[in-house]
Chains A and B, each alone.
Chain A
Amino acid sequence: MIDWFQKLGRSSLALFERLGRGGLFLMRVFAAIPSLVPRPRLVIIQLYSVGVLSMMLIVISGLNVGMVLGLQGYNTLVDFGAEESLGQVVALSLVRELGPVVAALLFAGRAGSALTAEIGLMKATEQLSGMEMMAVDPMKRVIVPRFIAAIISMPLLAAMFSAMGILGGYFVGVGLLGVDSGAFWSQMQGKVDFYEDIMNGLVKSVVFGFVAAWIAVFEGYDAVPTTEGVSRATTRTVVHTAFAVLGLDFILTALMFGSV
């Protein structure tokens, strides 16, 4: 019993210590952001590897999720003769929930893990140390450009995911199952509110992007500089981002769409 309490205590202490380190790390990141203003190129290079290279995955996944939504939505709605609301169902599910959440999960798997592994390996091969010895702050040169690029990329990827999803839903609903095209779009237009739905979805994706970026660069920077350490850090990035995104999603949804 005592053992169990000891273990609980130890792991809680470790958790809070990590959170503290993560918080301090974030402050250092913020402090280093102004140094990037004269060197936007550093961010642009990272935007390519973090954002552009993730696009394919996001586009294909979005299309697939949208197609499944179209099919499942149609099967349910048709029982009530409400299949013309398909556009609304697909759009709202994507814009409010699936777009930000699934895009964030995919982002963590595709870009977050890559960021962690890259930074962790740079640490393991003494590249970060070498930079410091050349009087170059790795925070400014390596960490912050990647962090900013991830924050910029995530909302754009989430928006792309939703847009592709809607297209996927359209192909299945209108193209295959014979829902009226005009009804599909007009229902969507009528029921999807710009502020209530799209902006709230955007806020979510910004929050998720921030959390995913923070976890990814922190795990890389904090990784134990060995093969095993980097491998663990990469796993942690994906797992922690998933937990954080799903947990935050509930909180944000409760705040945004009310009455829980």
Chain B
Amino acid sequence: MAELHDDALMVKIRDLRFAHGARVIFDGVDIDIPRGKITAIMGPSGTGKTTLLKLIGGQLAPSTGSVLVEGEDIHHVSRDDLYRLRKRMSLLFQTGALFTDLTVFENVAFPLREHTHLPESMLRDLVLMKLQVVGLRGARDLMPAELSGGMARRVALARAIALDPAMIMYDEPFTGQDPITVGVIMQLIRMLNDTLGLTSIIVSHDVHELSRVSDYMYMMAAGKIVGHGTPQELGHSGSEWIRQFMGGLPDGPVPFHYPAADYAQDLLAGVSA
């Protein structure tokens, strides 16, 4: 991607390093998230995709490097400023993270009740409008336990857009969903992005869905960005990482085997022991 001017970037990540104990998760990662676009971040399981979203949301702090959200370094702002920035972004958790003691309606109303002082009638209208967008206006009185996985994600999405954020981050939105739900979620992501003028980040390993819905893709492996480009560019990439991942090949740069001692020696060691 051509170097974009900073104003055109919602999130700018530079030289990000992060370690979980002794395990290095990110080792010098640069990512640009352009405004108004859907950017996908792909990678095999365990590459720290969720961690990346938490770093962008300021829930985790990097060892070194910077994460600029709307030009502000999210890890070096005051707590008040952090909360102000967070009101501009939403994170859709993989599980939905709905409050299990509140109804669907109250879940969507939660951010509005916490951050605004709207009269009840207006709040009701707003919540119903958000639920209408995700097609669950009729489910407003259900408890989260009564929802299917896909419905829970849609309610979480309605809650995520309650405060009209500028950016939504999706953590594995397609995982474990049936094809219809995947289609619905893809359509919602595209529609919300375009009609509300949002910036979207999707973190996932569902290659086919991502290539269809996203404008730009980053491929992460072993703590680094191993490739990026539009879905078409990545589809024709020469990188072995990308070829393995996009093609779903069982062995390649990401090995099939967990690191182990030599197979023959290992078997013989059992006999002599």
Show the binding face of A for B, using Cβ within 8 Å: 125-127, 129-130, 132-137, 141
Contacts and interface: CB of A to CB of B under 8 A. Distances in A.
Interface string B62-102: 00000000000000000000011011011101010111100
A133 B86 contact: yes
B87 A130 contact: no
Contact of A129 (B89, B97, B98): B97
Contacts of A133: 57, 59, 86, 89-91
B95 A134 contact: no
A78 B57 CA distance: 72
Contact of B59 (A125, A127, A129): A129
Contacts of A129: 54, 59, 93, 97
Contacts of A130: 91, 93, 97
B99 A134 contact: no
Contacts of A135: 83-84, 86-87, 111, 114-115
10 contacts: A127-B98, A129-B54, A129-B97, A130-B97, A132-B86, A133-B91, A134-B111, A134-B114, A135-B111, A141-B114
Contact of A132 (B59, B95, B110, B115): B59
Interface in B133-187: 159, 163
A132 B93 CA distance: 12
A136 B111 contact: yes
B57 A125 contact: no
Contacts of B90: 133-134
A141 B115 CA distance: 12
Contact of B95 (A126, A137, A141): A126
A245 to B, nearest CB: 29
A136 B107 CA distance: 13
B87 A127 contact: no
Nearest to B99: A127
A258 B26 CA distance: 61
Nearest to B91: A133
Contacts of B59: 129, 132-133
B87 A125 contact: no
A134 B82 CA distance: 11
- Most B CB within 10 A of own CB, among A125, A132, A133, A141: A133
Nearest to A132: B59
Contacts of B100: 125, 127
